[in-house]
């Protein structure tokens, strides 16, 4: 484990150079990794572990997702089982189901979490809000986490490209004395670029804030607000979309992802520089109180309770699909369909 300087703050990180794949394989050579759930994170983590030479099985109830697992090479009765049987067979039991599904299956699988096993998560939700989820692990098992900082699809794609997606890791409970090495080996096994230390609570607080904030919620709100203002002042859908979304995602994001926003400011026109420097303050001042309100809602458990209550409704899926349909059919994102078709790579 090395200490690295992040903006003047020292943090513990683990790289693939200091914790090579061969070491990870040795640590987990006698383990059976049972991946429960083949939805969002499951495919990427399970397939990467399998390709890296670990002993992996998948637990998934039958249906469309089960069929996807079969198509990916998981064999019913050999490496693909029901959720309960996979939990029974596994020595590292990976809860990669949705938060709502974890709550639902917990009463069925907790009996299989016998002494010495490890219960693995990629999200701190179920444990951090255990009074609400009732996911309370027995005291004689390890409870660990590796949380890739991206989707399971990105984890898999970057693995196949020979790259790695950075991940956080945390130990909630070390019953065996080997929880840390199990966790780091697992993180290397799924193809993490590097691993940085966190806690279950910090992970879920930052994750819920991020997805409601700059990653999804705030970015959609910001883009829509600018798009609407341009349209209301007479700009065409194409012009409004290109100035709001297309230039950001196709031109600027790759550049400041690679070089930083400071580089971006230094390498744009003097007119853009002046305007960006002048307006970043008012935007910051307007947005920060909303972010503080959001963080407080996460910290108090309000966001978790909203999610639990919503996901437990019998018509949850229908309501969700209606909201997603409205987003998909909005003018801005229908304009996006046409713009994507006009990109040079599609012609």
Catalytic residues: 123
Q: How far is CA 99 from CA 104, 283, 294, in A?
A: 9, 33, 20
Burial of 345 (0-12, 13-18, 19+ CB in 10 A): exposed
Instruction: Enter the tokens of residue 314.
Output: 């019998």
Burial of 119 (0-12, 13-18, 19+ CB in 10 A): buried
Instruction: Give the integer Cα–Cα distance in Å for 82 and 67.
Output: 13
Sign of CA dihedral 310, 311, 313, 317: positive
Burial of 3 (0-12, 13-18, 19+ CB in 10 A): exposed
Instruction: Enter the tokens of residue 56.
Output: 């992996």
Instruction: Enter the tokens of residue 229.
Output: 């203002």
């Amino acid at each position: 484990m090395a200490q690295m300087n992040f903006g003047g703050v020292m943090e513990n990180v683990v790289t693939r150079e200091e914790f090579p794949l061969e070491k990870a394989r040795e640590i987990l050579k006698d383990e059976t990794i049972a991946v429960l759930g083949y939805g969002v994170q499951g495919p990427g983590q399970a397939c990467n572990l399998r390709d890296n030479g670990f002993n992996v099985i998948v637990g998934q109830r039958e249906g469309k997702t089960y069929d996807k697992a079969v198509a990916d090479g998981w064999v019913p009765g050999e490496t693909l089982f029901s959720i309960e049987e996979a939990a029974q067979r596994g020595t590292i039991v990976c809860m990669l189901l949705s938060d709502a599904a974890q709550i639902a299956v917990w009463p069925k699988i907790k009996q299989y979490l016998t002494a010495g096993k490890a219960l693995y998560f990629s999200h701190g939700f179920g444990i951090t809000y255990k009074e609400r989820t009732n996911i309370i692990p027995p005291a004689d098992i390890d409870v660990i986490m590796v949380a890739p900082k991206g989707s399971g699809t990105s984890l898999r794609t970057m693995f196949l490209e020979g790259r790695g997606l950075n991940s956080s890791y945390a130990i909630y409970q070390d019953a065996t004395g080997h929880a840390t090495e199990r966790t780091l080996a697992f993180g290397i096994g799924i193809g993490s670029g590097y691993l940085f230390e966190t806690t279950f609570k910090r992970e879920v607080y930052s994750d819920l804030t991020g997805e409601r904030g700059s990653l999804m919620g705030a970015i959609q709100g910001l883009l829509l607000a600018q798009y609407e203002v341009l349209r209301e002042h007479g700009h065409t859908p194409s012009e409004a979309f290109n100035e709001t979304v297309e230039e950001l995602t196709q031109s600027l994001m790759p550049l400041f992802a690679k070089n930083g926003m400071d580089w971006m400011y230094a390498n744009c026109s003097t007119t853009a520089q002046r305007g960006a420097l002048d307006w970043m303050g008012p935007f910051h001042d307007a947005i920060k109180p909303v972010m503080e309100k959001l963080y407080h809602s996460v910290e108090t458990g309000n966001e978790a309770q909203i999610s639990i209550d919503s996901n437990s409704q019998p018509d949850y899926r229908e309501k969700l699909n209606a909201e997603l349909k409205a987003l998909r059919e909005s003018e801005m994102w229908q304009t996006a369909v046409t713009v994507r078709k006009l990109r040079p790579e599609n012609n």
